[in-house]
Amino acid sequence: MIAFLPKELEEFRLKVRKFCETSIEKNAQRWDENEEFPYDSLRALGEEGILGLGIPEEYGGAGTSRIKLVIAIEEVARVDPNSAFIMEVESLFDQTLLLFGNEKQKSILRDVAAGKKIGTFALTEPTGGTDVAGIKSTAKKENGKYYLYGSKYFITNALVASYFIVFAKTAPELKSKGITAFLVEKGTENFNVGPKIHLTGFRGSAIAGLQYNGAPVNEDAIIGKENEGIKVAMAVLERGRVNISSLALGMLQRVYEESVKFANYRKSMENTLVNFQFIQQYLTDMLSDLEASRLMVYNTAMLIDQGQQVGLNAAATKLFVSEALMKHVKNGVEILGGYGYTRGTVMERLARDAHNTTLSLGTSEAMRMVLSKYLKL
């Protein structure tokens, strides 16, 4: 129980959990096994209003409460991390338009909130992802239009997206101060998507690369202002780190549940595993980190809702929770033994999905670099 969490948010959690267990969990294994994008999950989440969390009601959403959004992502991740990962990336798209987009750009969020259209955030390139200032893509202006040249890689939802937020250098000589964010629609000339990238985990997330060799976009496709794309990217990524942390939190919750259930059921030497001291140590450490992770995630989300600066909190939360998940999913596999290493089990799927949380929106090493900036007086 969280002392500072209002009763209505706990009721909201139970509502989302019931929906996820009824409508999503039954298909999670199939989506993973077949590397199938969960269209029916997205439609159901849209109809339930969960996809619209983080989007104002005036744009067809369910409100902008970040704490509600992270609770929802946590609960979806508990039953299907793949669907939660898609939600988390969709939220990057939503936040970019809400924070920096014009009214025409924001209007497309109605279809996104309903699950009818999908947007994605295209920042990572084949030569790097953490180093935003080092992107190679360029946008050349000619006769009132911009022509995009370059490529992106590891773009979640790319194969199914209708809209792409693409970052490119409009003034390469200015380096990080010469980046601009563009809204690009599917079907734009010379803008190609694919092929699919096959990952170890999150196998249904439709990840692919982008290639564009002179893809034309109008001036009104700019999100924010020309040459201020680094400001756009950093603001959105900072807020997005609490979302990926809530995804890791939901997965850690399920790791704990599966581990405790098995430890209370499985016997060895005529004794259940939960009575062995070393198993108890695994589980108590897991429970302690789970409680700490939830406090960090919720606190950071509430700071965002209050309009506070969250650079430190977001980086620390993302580092702690994703690393805790990596540690404890390994121990969860150890507790389940061969069952934890068998395809088709929840723990095996969690083990494959977990590593992505330490990589997305800044690696653990990058988070330590961010935090190191706060060490100097």
CATH of the domain at 207: 2.40.110.10
**Taking 90 as the threshold, does the pLDDT of residue 2 lie above it?**
no
Q: Where are the alpha helices (DSSP H) in the chain?
A: 7-23, 25-33, 39-48, 66-79, 81-100, 103-106, 109-113, 229-265, 277-305, 311-336, 346-354, 356-359, 364-372
Q: Per-residue confidence at 10, pLDDT binned at 50, 70, 90?
A: very high
**Taking 90 as the threshold, does the pLDDT of residue 296 lie above it?**
yes
Q: Report pLDDT for 129.
A: 74
324 and 255 fall within a common domain: yes
Of 118, 152, 184, which residue sits at a domain end? 118
Q: Report pLDDT for 358.
A: 96
The enclosing domain of 29 has a CATH number of: 1.10.540.10
State the Cα angle at 285 between 281 and 288, rounded to 5°: 140
Phi first, then psi: what are they for 299, rounded to 5°? -65, -45
The mean per-residue pLDDT over the stretch 147-158 comes to 97
Q: Does 300 reside within a domain?
A: yes
240 and 368 fall within a common domain: yes
> Which is nearest to 148 in space by CA: 180, 115, 100, 106?
180
Which residues make Cβ contacts (< 8 Å) with residue 118, sequence separation at least 6? 42, 90, 112, 157, 160, 161, 162, 163
**Taking 90 as the threshold, does the pLDDT of residue 267 lie above it?**
no
Q: Report pLDDT for 75.
A: 98
Q: Does 54 reside within a domain?
A: yes
Q: Does 34 reside within a domain?
A: yes
- State the residue range of the domain holding 251: 230-372
69 and 138 fall within a common domain: no
Q: Report pLDDT for 270.
A: 79
**Taking 80 as the threshold, does the pLDDT of residue 376 lie above it?**
yes
Q: Does 17 reside within a domain?
A: yes
Q: Does 362 reside within a domain?
A: yes
CA atoms within 13 A on the CB side of 181: 28
Rounded Cα–Cα distance for residues 57 and 218 (Å): 28
> Which is nearest to 323 in space by CA: 371, 278, 366, 289?
289
138 and 81 fall within a common domain: no
**Taking 80 as the threshold, does the pLDDT of residue 271 lie above it?**
yes
Q: Report pLDDT for 131.
A: 81
236 and 367 fall within a common domain: yes
Q: Report pLDDT for 52.
A: 92
Number of domains present in the structure of the chain = 3
User: What's the token pair of residue 152?
Assistant: 């992106």
Q: Report pLDDT for 30.
A: 95
The mean per-residue pLDDT over the stretch 125-133 comes to 83
**Taking 90 as the threshold, does the pLDDT of residue 132 lie above it?**
no
Q: Report pLDDT for 282.
A: 97
Of 197, 227, 257, which residue sits at a domain end? 227
109 and 81 fall within a common domain: yes
Are 121 and 90 in contact by the 8 Å Cβ rule? The answer is no
Q: Does 314 reside within a domain?
A: yes
Are 334 and 347 in contact by the 8 Å Cβ rule? The answer is no
pLDDT tens column, 157-189: 999 999 999 999 999 999 999 999 999 999 999
107 and 185 fall within a common domain: no
Q: Report pLDDT for 181.
A: 98
Are 205 and 156 in contact by the 8 Å Cβ rule? The answer is yes
126 and 189 fall within a common domain: yes
Residue in this structure with the two tokens 């994008």, named with its chain if needed: 37
In the predicted model, what is the mean pLDDT of the chain? 95
Are 245 and 300 in contact by the 8 Å Cβ rule? The answer is yes
262 and 361 fall within a common domain: yes
Q: Report pLDDT for 5.
A: 86
98 and 131 fall within a common domain: no
**Residue 194, SS3 per DSSP:** strand
Q: Does 2 reside within a domain?
A: no
Rounded Cα–Cα distance for residues 129 and 134 (Å): 9
Q: Report pLDDT for 1.
A: 65
Which residues make Cβ contacts (< 8 Å) with residue 239, sequence separation at least 6? 66, 95, 304, 310, 314
Residue 308 CA: distances (Å) to CA of 198, 302, 303, 372:
38, 9, 5, 20
114 and 145 fall within a common domain: no
Q: Report percent pLDDT > 90 for the chain.
A: 92
The enclosing domain of 337 has a CATH number of: 1.20.140.10
> Of 79 and 268, which is predicted with more confidence?
79
**Taking 90 as the threshold, does the pLDDT of residue 354 lie above it?**
yes
Rounded Cα–Cα distance for residues 290 and 307 (Å): 26
Q: Does 377 reside within a domain?
A: no
Are 76 and 254 in contact by the 8 Å Cβ rule? The answer is no
Of 178, 212, 227, which residue sits at a domain end? 227
pLDDT tens column, 202-249: 999 999 999 999 999 999 999 999 999 999 999 999 999 999 999 999
363 and 234 fall within a common domain: yes
